Structure 1
């Protein structure tokens, strides 16, 4: 099993370094996904294996790691043609109304206030608040995060007055929610900003140092939110790499028949329909089907749903999932190359929003593939900013 970990670690590292050399930047749109892939697949998973916390079948995990690597490699290959960024070619168009991002940030806080009020006795335990608001608080919980993420994007297109204050405000917002994924979203947004709006180039050692700093900060956030006993720390840490082990349950299931795309269809479409519009919306759709089957107790208690990672593709297509994962990766890479090229040529909030999404970072902190929703978000931001800027220009001219 160690050989499997080692082979795919070498392959993953090699293709990331090659891609980084081609585009001339070792911090890029795929840095965060790569770091987490290495940490989860090649550090946490081997720890779990070494501690005998799970029974590993070599062939099962070979299929899973092969499909996962092909999707990752396909993504980088699909984006490979993208040319080197030249800072001299970047013409950032500042948004003249500085109040817009601050207003969005305020609205994000206001939307989240009802949850703060209801759980005011647990403000020092934000992880508990996060666990208790997983169901029934969607518009407030996810809506507020979306608004704050949009506020950060718009803020980076202004002249960024009081940047430190704004940064502290969004960090406090994330801490109040107990949602570590928000910090990843912020980091992805800042990386795209540094690449395409600032034209910053990161050489290998500078990039390596920055990655270590990011991992240290994220570890600190984890420790801050950790409420368990030190003796169970390894069990908690190993839980962050459970999607490969969960995927193995599907691959090893000899009874289950292929769904032939049904899981993917439900994951993409049904997940987007709010329960307020579909009162009888089932809970066991998409990968929730496997939560009900393999983790029935936690599923019935609505304690959250574990991820099954690449296993959902195996559920749909059996071993054909391996070549399909490569095709999906190539498609994802092409989307990134398309929008990042547009962003370099024409920096605006729409192209920025779509480039962030193409890195695998959703502004909507929920499961699912939300490309149409992000197009709507990007277009709304773009035309709202243009309209407000135009109105301000008209008002200024009227004064004179």
Structure 2
């Protein structure tokens, strides 16, 4: 069939992965990103389980391994900096990943790898604009961009993150868009100058303080710390999202005097830096598509950082969506004459994508934001934190895989499909 014209809104992990696959099978792919350039920034993330396999099927293992972060594990410390527990990184080929996986990588490096691979296969990127509005005409989608341009596409994909504008337009103004905040749980992220000290190791270090707060510090180079700082609080209710000055002020008040490295971290946070605040939330929708518009990644199903599966879900979901498009719509080639019933084929592909991938995401999201907040109840007091330290020390002594215990890598009774259309060379 002739190539599908596909517009992907969002040049992040899921959007770039989808652009790679659809370009690889010959379709005409345009990625639009509202930032002025590729957002190859951000802190450390990882791949787990099926996400590792998809990355290998993309032929990108060598590129990933060249950029793997040097982190060797995670430790838990008390307010004096004394280590209470340590869990090493996963050894190559070991199976279920620990907290630190085989494939730890900086977000920017991963985004750049996927972008470059997509461009190499023909995907086009447009920076500095976004979808202002669209109209699904049944036979195509007419798109009006923020920079005043108009164009038409066979399919529009929203890969524009947790607060997706595409999702809001897709469900309509009178319908809830599936965003489910997690009861005041927030996390701030930034990097700060902190030269590596003699004897220091490349470790993630977690510190918990009474009052539902804490921080994690990790490093991917000898010059800087990556800082994750936050907790559970109602203090952000009246703070506009994106008001960085106000967000930093609230975090400063929350963490002041909390112990360990918090004063050092707060001083660095209150400077001009790459700070970003995430207000933790799930996205849950009954359907990830409507007509010729479909969602992928956090825009469709954000599982929150609590699952450890955000990046993996984005990579695997993009593979499934591309695979179903390839299976139902075929490879794109201008050499083929005539038109097939692309509307019917696209509808089948999107429905099959939703049906096939939903069991995966149902397991990943299960229990998140539901029931009691027992974990935060424990870190509300010094006694509760002492209990956590005790059980962490026992788990550390017996070399328990805490990644397998607290994260959602182990998706059961779900196998990664083999898509002939994606995996064979043109």
Query: Which TM bucket (shorter chain)?
Result: under 0.3
* TM-score, normalisation: structure 2: 0.23
* TM-score, normalisation: structure 1: 0.25
Higher percent of residues as strand: 2
Larger RCO, structure (CA 8 Å, separation 6 or more): 1
Higher percent of residues as helix: 1
